[in-house]
Amino acid sequence: MATKKTNKTNYWKLLSIGLLTFIIGYAAGNMIGGTCTADDCKADVLAAETDKVVEKVDLADLPSSSDEDYYILGDEDAPVTIIEYTDYQCPFCQRYYFNTFPSIKDEYIATGKVKYLVKDMALSFHSKAKPSAYAARCAGEQENYWEMHDKIFLYQNQWSYAEDTQAQFTAYAEELELDLDKFTTCYENGSAKFDAQIEEDIAEATSKGLSGTPSFSINNQTIVGAQGFEAFKAAIDSEL
């Protein structure tokens, strides 16, 4: 009898440990390293993130430049290039913006080791992914790409659920003291102006085997998901 009781007790202990391990693993997987690859990803974002303070180097202290299609943050001659394939409506992209991007800016962009650019991997099931990309690019035409990029991620939970998304982006443009007539004209023509480039960005990501956001190209390496800073540090340091 004692043996049967002991075996039963051990069984329930092992079952409990296994269940606990599964729960912890599932939670960790959703908190770190997640990607948007299906429409249920947007249910994972927390409204409280909007009020989170992002510790970061002031954008005004970082060199920036642009070519015909992209806006570059950092020294153009930096030895490491990071390309972020993003979807502004993706909650994991917002999580990366809050939790990892500030450290990359502090330790690598501000020190001249990394140049950073964003490409738009607007996912088809996010109806506001392209409009938010238009807003960033239109602000970029007035030399405020990165400032609008920050606002779009900071207030993702505001505009992504707003009935009038354009009004939200216009309010951000007004806060940035942009020429609102120019911004509005650009935004309302966003599809004609930017869709071809966005589709090229998506095709480029796909050619690298990337299917979810956020995904990253670090010189010839790739990182998938909202990974922690240490994953990026290891990849960047190996390129220096």
Q: Do 51 and 97 share a structural domain?
A: yes
Q: Do 45 and 150 share a structural domain?
A: yes
pLDDT tens-digit profile of 145-162?
999 999 999 999 999 898
Average pLDDT over residues 175-202: 96
**158 vs 161: CA distance, rounded Å:** 6
Pairing of strands 80-86, 114-120: parallel
Q: Do 192 and 95 share a structural domain?
A: yes
**131 vs 134: CA distance, rounded Å:** 5
Q: Do 134 and 20 share a structural domain?
A: no
H or E stretch at 153: helix 145-154
Q: How many CB atoms lie within 10 A of CB 171?
A: 16
Q: Do 189 and 94 share a structural domain?
A: yes
Q: Do 40 and 26 share a structural domain?
A: no
Question: Cβ contacts of residue 199 below 8 Å, gap of 6+?
Answer: none
Q: Do 105 and 26 share a structural domain?
A: no
Q: Do 48 and 26 share a structural domain?
A: no
Q: What is the 3-state secondary structure (H, E, C) of 183-230?
A: HHHHHHCHHHHHHHHHHHHHHHHHHCCCCCECEEEECCEEEECCCCHH
pLDDT tens-digit profile of 201-225?
999 999 999 988 899 999 989 999 9
**159 vs 23: CA distance, rounded Å:** 32
Q: Do 113 and 202 share a structural domain?
A: yes
Domain ranges, residue 40 = 36-239
- If pLDDT is split at 50, 70 and 90, which confidence band does 122 have? confident
Single pTM value for the model: 0.76
pLDDT tens-digit profile of 95-107?
999 999 999 999 9
CATH number for the domain that contains residue 98: 3.40.30.10
